[in-house]
């Protein structure tokens, strides 16, 4: 283990790369999931069917195969750009997370009562304002917990970036293992690192849940109900 600690600067750099990739792909996947999920629920077939097709095309191959295709095969197509390893990794993982998250968004939107949409139309709100101001804020109370679980998985997905040469914590760990031949200690350390990252990710999403408008309103309503005295209780019980 002492030999491994000699490489701590490289480990710290690799850990920062892993954290940076995670911080890029999770918000990117969230925005993409909202867009795809909304289009997936759209009444217009010209928008709904392309969204459904995009979701299935992205989800069909594994993330690793898709990463290899974007990094190695896409530049061979005339007119297509050659992306850097980290750019290709962020793009693929964000798209993959968006495709899986789109179904979470769809399910969350479906939990909002249809009467909310009808009320928005009665008030003359456009579909975009109805979605962003009324439907989505209510659906977030269902979307965020489920997306938090997906985000924890996405933190672990970052390990595949090492296959295209991104020097993340797994890439550095494999290098250290080759130098020290201490396989058990290296992979125990990597397991602990990913465990800590996923725990922190879960804690961040639990904190986000606490500040959602609907959740705050429900907590306020519960506190108000608890503050009301029980009028049916015997007089002696209230003393």
pLDDT at 134: 79
pLDDT at 238: 47
* Structure confidence by residue, pLDDT tens digits, 64-97: 999 999 999 988 888 888 889 999 999 999 999 9
User: Are the C-beta atoms of 46 and 71 separated by less than 8 Å?
Assistant: no
- What ranges do the domains of the chain cover? 2-227
Burial of 193 (C-beta count, 10 Å sphere; 0-12/13-18/19+):
middle
Residue 31 in tokens: 């925005």
Quote the CA–CA distance of 124 and 26 in Å, as a whole number: 34
Q: What is the pTM of this model?
A: 0.83
**Nearby residues of 143 by Cβ (< 8 Å), 6 or more positions away:** 104, 105, 108
Place of tokens 């867009």: 35
DSSP 132: I
Quote the CA–CA distance of 165 and 171 in Å, as a whole number: 8
H helical segments located in 158-182: 169-180
Is the domain 2-227 a CATH 1.10.3720.10 member? yes
* Structure confidence by residue, pLDDT tens digits, 123-151: 777 777 777 777 788 888 888 888 999 99
Quote the CA–CA distance of 21 and 154 in Å, as a whole number: 10
Residue 193 in tokens: 């690192």
Helix axis angle, 45-59 to 85-110, nearest 10°: 130
- At residue 150, the 3 state secondary structure works out as helix
Tens of pLDDT along the chain (239 residues)?
A: 666 677 788 888 999 999 999 999 999 999 999 999 888 888 788 888 998 999 999 988 888 999 999 999 988 888 888 889 999 999 999 999 999 999 999 888 888 777 777 787 777 777 777 777 777 888 888 888 889 999 999 999 999 999 998 889 999 888 888 888 888 888 898 999 999 999 999 999 988 888 876 666 555 666 666 666 655 555 555 44
Quote the CA–CA distance of 113 and 75 in Å, as a whole number: 46
How large is the C-alpha radius of gyration of the chain? 23
pLDDT at 136: 80
- Torsion from C-alpha of 223, 225, 228, 232, nearest 10 degrees: -150
User: Are the C-beta atoms of 33 and 74 separated by less than 8 Å?
Assistant: no
């Amino acid at each position: 283990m002492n030999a491994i600690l000699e490489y701590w600067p490289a480990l710290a750099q690799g850990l920062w790369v892993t954290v940076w990739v995670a911080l890029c792909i999770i918000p990117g996947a969230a925005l993409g999931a909202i867009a795809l999920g909304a289009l997936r629920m759209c009444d217009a077939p010209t928008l709904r069917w392309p969204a459904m097709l995009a979701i299935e095309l992205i989800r069909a191959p594994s993330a690793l195969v898709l990463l290899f295709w974007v990094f190695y095969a896409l530049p061979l197509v005339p007119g297509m750009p050659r992306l850097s390893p980290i750019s290709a990794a962020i793009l693929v993982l964000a798209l993959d997370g968006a495709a899986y998250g789109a179904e979470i968004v769809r399910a969350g939107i479906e939990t909002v009562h249809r009467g909310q949409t009808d009320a928005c139309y009665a008030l003359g709100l456009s579909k975009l304002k109805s979605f962003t101001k009324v439907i989505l804020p209510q659906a977030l109370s269902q979307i965020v917990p489920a997306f938090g679980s997906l985000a924890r998985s996405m933190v672990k997905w970052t390990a595949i970036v090492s296959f295209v040469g991104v020097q993340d914590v797994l890439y550095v760990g494999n290098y250290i293992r080759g130098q020290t031949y201490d396989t058990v200690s290296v992979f125990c350390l990597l397991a602990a690192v990913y465990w800590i990252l996923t725990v922190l990710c879960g804690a961040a999403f639990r904190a986000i849940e606490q500040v959602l408008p609907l959740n705050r309103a429900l907590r306020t309503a519960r506190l108000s109900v608890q503050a009301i005295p029980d009028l049916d209780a015997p007089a002696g019980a209230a003393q």
